[in-house]
Amino acid sequence: MRRKILTYFFLFSGFVAGISANSVTTNAQTAGKKAYLNEIKTELKKKWPENRTINLVFHGHSVPSGYFNTPNVGTLQAYPHLVLEAVKEVYPYSVVNTIVTSVGGENSEQGSMRFKKEVLNHRPDVLFIDYALNDRGIGLERAKKAWESMIKETLNLQLKVVLLTPTPDLTENILDDSTSLEKHAVQIRKLAKKYQIGLVDSYAAFKEKAKNGENLGTYMSQSNHPNKKGHQVVRDLITHYLMDNREQQKYRLSQVREMMNKVADHQMMNFENQVRKGSRWENSHAYWAWTNATMYVGLAEWAKLSGQQRYWDFLYTIGEKNQWKTGPNIYFADDICVIQSYQQIHEKYKEEKIINPSIKALDSILNHPKTGSIGYYDKDSHSRWCWCDALFMAPTAFARMGKTIGNNRYFDFLNREFWVTYDSLYCPQEKLFFRDTRYKEMKEENGERVFWGRGNGWIIGGLTVIIDNLPDNYPDKQRFIDLYKEMMERIAGLQDKQGFWHPSLLDYTSYPMPETSASGFFTYGMLWGINRGYLDKEAWLPKAEKAWNALCSAVHEDGKLGYIQAIGADPKKVSANDTEVYGVGAFLLAGSEMYNLLYKIINNIIK
């Protein structure tokens, strides 16, 4: 293949994905990620005229060259350029060159022969070497000799070296410790340890993903070339060397912001089409419908945190189109969920027209409450909160509006009605809610009871809003907090290896696929609890970060969030292409709390 040497100079930052792609640690990073490049990090922080140009040189084969589906080359999506974007995000005053001396199809012997003339002549401050994929053709001994030759030449010039283990080749089983790639990865780790230099263990990171049940095909453009998502994994590992803890947190914050904007913008672009399309359920996507209302709630939280007016403009425009009305049946919980978002918009604009129809509706319920049975098939049962979803739809409206207008009657009503539903649907043994009374005797194929993922997600989402808005001295507030903690302990134990929850919480065999509306609410619940001090940060943050990373992995390149179960009442199978607006709402709530947490950490508000 014809030789190509590519050089890129610093550019503005572009797309960034979710938080650090993994939390894998490796045993052979003897140079120490924190300290090895301290001098480089110090230089990156300097401003003109004290700063100088930093050269990051990437030497290797087709992967750092940017080959995706050969012969297509995705230069700006390959990890050398993604590293440049990340560095510029957190070191805005730095002058950085990423210089790619890689050649597609080349092995380390070939790379070592041109090393002095075509690599060291660029005067690298840090040299990254990535050859293992192609070294399978020359064997371990010849590869070791070539790698050691390049390492020694670089160290003789007192320069820094970081070795990379390979990215996957789907023709080999990454979980098989006897493969050729595994052997080359082991050898590279030993070289890093021997010479006390840096190591980016890409192979271990992808292997961990495979162990957790992830499909590595989603990270690959062809069998041996990563796609952008795969390159982001390598980028995130490299940036640990180039950023201190504070810089890493700042970068994570920017990643969350980019991902949130990406998902929110995609939803806004497709919103009117979804309203018109609807579903088999009448008015399922009307402007006032619970489906859209859930998205409004998440979007309003993100608008408030991110300070982006365009999201407020969207929400205000929808409210005007709907004349700030609820759904037609104010006793049916779904039809008043939209009141939550009206309260949030009112908090921003302070216009009484925004909440006056909602106050009128809630006052009417208070003055003429329903008192019938909440057995699902009982007469008039749906005029009360007879299904668990309702605990996100209705009591939250009373909680938010009660705080806004200072009316304790709203709190007393939601308190009384919530615990009626709790007494009917909560299972103390499993610490989960049945969806409604129909499901109390139903069983999954594995013999376990039916506990719907999203149904219990609605509960967690509802509890957070209720607790946030009840006065601190409200007599039963602690009871809500205790229920939240009890449920979160149970739910945490049901998180899968990748970080997701599934459509059925107790039958992952029948429902092996993730479900992101449930996962979104549970992730939100974890992060919300950490931010409010209800959950211990040290114990819960690893679970929450794992959950957030899993959610981000379900986001398509265009911003569509997949694996969202369609409208229903119980577990159903779901695919990567299935999306729905309420799942986006849960995602935006989770991301808002992650953003809030990182902001607090960066600013020393939370340790």
Q: Does residue 69 belong to any structural domain of this protein?
A: yes
Closest C-alpha among 443, 483, 484 to residue 571: 443
Q: Does residue 488 belong to any structural domain of this protein?
A: yes
Asked if pLDDT for residue 7 goes beyond 50, the answer is no
Closest C-alpha among 123, 148, 8, 157 to residue 73: 8
Q: Does residue 593 belong to any structural domain of this protein?
A: yes
Residues 358 and 497 in one domain: yes
Extract the tokens encoding 289.
Answer: 């419908």
Residues 200 and 295 in one domain: no
Task: Give me the pLDDT at residue 1, please.
Answer: 35
Q: How far apart are CA 358 and CA 134, in angstroms?
A: 65
Helices (H), 162-286: 180-195, 202-211, 228-242, 245-269, 271-277
Amino acid at 37: L
Extract the tokens encoding 54.
Answer: 């930093």
Q: Does residue 53 belong to any structural domain of this protein?
A: yes
**Length of the chain measured in residues:** 607
What CATH number is given to the structural domain containing 325? 1.50.10.10
Q: How far apart are CA 271 and CA 333, in angstroms?
A: 23
- Do residues 199 and 151 make contact, with C-beta atoms less than 8 angstroms apart? no
The model's pTM is: 0.91
Residues 317 and 190 in one domain: no
Q: Does residue 261 belong to any structural domain of this protein?
A: no
Closest C-alpha among 586, 486, 582 to residue 529: 486
Biggest alpha carbon–alpha carbon distance for the chain:
86
| Total structural domains within the chain | 2
Structural domain boundaries, residue 431 = 271-602
Extract the tokens encoding 316.
Answer: 């205000």
Task: Give me the pLDDT at residue 579, please.
Answer: 97
Task: Give me the pLDDT at residue 13, please.
Answer: 31
Tens-digit pLDDT profile for residues 14-23: 333 344 433 4
- Over residues 422-440, the mean pLDDT reads 98
**Residues 102, 106, 110, CA angle at the centre, nearest 5°?**
100
Tens-digit pLDDT profile for residues 472-527: 999 999 999 999 999 999 999 999 999 999 999 999 999 999 999 999 999 999 99
Task: Examine the fold and report which residue of 243, 261, 295 is the final residue of a domain before the chain moves on.
Answer: 243
- The question of whether 412 is a catalytic residue gets the answer no
Banded pLDDT at 43 (limits 50, 70, 90): very high
- Which has the minimum average pLDDT: 162-171, 272-281, 575-584? 272-281
Tens-digit pLDDT profile for residues 147-191: 999 999 999 999 999 999 999 999 999 999 999 999 999 999 999
Task: Examine the fold and report which residue of 243, 258, 293 is the final residue of a domain before the chain moves on.
Answer: 243
Closest C-alpha among 362, 361, 424, 412 to residue 387: 424
Extract the tokens encoding 80.
Answer: 């050398």
Q: How far apart are CA 211 and CA 17, in angstroms?
A: 22
Q: How far apart are CA 453 and CA 524, in angstroms?
A: 14
Strand partners, 504: 452
Task: Give me the pLDDT at residue 32, please.
Answer: 73
**3-class SS of residue 67:** strand
Q: Does residue 45 belong to any structural domain of this protein?
A: yes
Extract the tokens encoding 427.
Answer: 């299972």
- Over residues 461-478, the mean pLDDT reads 98
Residue that the structure tokens 């192609």 belong to:
134
Residues 277 and 230 in one domain: no
Q: How far apart are CA 549 and CA 236, in angstroms?
A: 12
Residues 458 and 589 in one domain: yes
Extract the tokens encoding 107.
Answer: 């092995």
Closest C-alpha among 180, 198, 94 to residue 133: 180
Extract the tokens encoding 599.
Answer: 């902001």
**Residues 325, 458, 318, CA angle at the centre, nearest 5°?**
25
Residues 287 and 354 in one domain: yes
Q: What is the DSSP string of 295-357?
A: HHHHHHHHHHHHT-HHHHHHHHHHHHHTTT---S-TTSGGGGTTHHHHHHHHHHH--HHHHHH
Asked if pLDDT for residue 576 goes beyond 90, the answer is yes
Residues 311 and 213 in one domain: no
Residue 503, preceding peptide bond in cis (omega within 30° of 0): no
Q: Where are the beta strands (DSSP E) in 102-215?
A: 126-130, 160-164, 198-200
Closest C-alpha among 73, 22, 141 to residue 548: 22
Amino acid at 144: K
**Residues 266, 280, 283, CA angle at the centre, nearest 5°?**
70
Strand partners, 97: 9, 55
Strand partners, 129: 59, 163
Banded pLDDT at 304 (limits 50, 70, 90): very high
Asked if pLDDT for residue 26 goes beyond 60, the answer is no
Query: Whole-angstrom distance between the N-terminal and C-terminal Cα of the chain?
Result: 52
What CATH number is given to the structural domain containing 235? 3.40.50.1110
Task: Give me the pLDDT at residue 356, please.
Answer: 98
Task: Give me the pLDDT at residue 99, please.
Answer: 98
Task: Give me the pLDDT at residue 606, please.
Answer: 75
Residues 282 and 177 in one domain: no
Extract the tokens encoding 528.
Answer: 């919300």
Residue 49, preceding peptide bond in cis (omega within 30° of 0): yes
- Do residues 82 and 232 make contact, with C-beta atoms less than 8 angstroms apart? yes
- Over residues 434-460, the mean pLDDT reads 98
Asked if pLDDT for residue 11 goes beyond 50, the answer is no
Q: What is the DSSP letter of 442?
A: -
Q: How far apart are CA 132 and CA 174, in angstroms?
A: 14
Residues 190 and 311 in one domain: no
Q: Does residue 48 belong to any structural domain of this protein?
A: yes
Residues 278 and 231 in one domain: no
Q: How far apart are CA 267 and CA 260, in angstroms?
A: 11
Strand partners, 160: 126
Task: Give me the pLDDT at residue 391, please.
Answer: 98
Q: Does residue 253 belong to any structural domain of this protein?
A: no
For residue 198, the surrounding DSSP H or E stretch is strand 198-200
Banded pLDDT at 605 (limits 50, 70, 90): confident
- Do residues 346 and 407 make contact, with C-beta atoms less than 8 angstroms apart? no
Task: Examine the fold and report which residue of 243, 258, 284 is the final residue of a domain before the chain moves on.
Answer: 243
Residues 232 and 329 in one domain: no
Q: How far apart are CA 213 and CA 371, in angstroms?
A: 48
Task: Give me the pLDDT at residue 484, please.
Answer: 98
Residues 218 and 144 in one domain: yes
Q: Give me Rg for the CA atoms of the chain.
A: 27
Tens-digit pLDDT profile for residues 221-243: 999 999 999 999 999 999 999 99
- Do residues 180 and 136 make contact, with C-beta atoms less than 8 angstroms apart? yes
Residue that the structure tokens 């001090």 belong to:
533
Q: Which of 335, 389, 570, 578 is catalytic?
A: 389
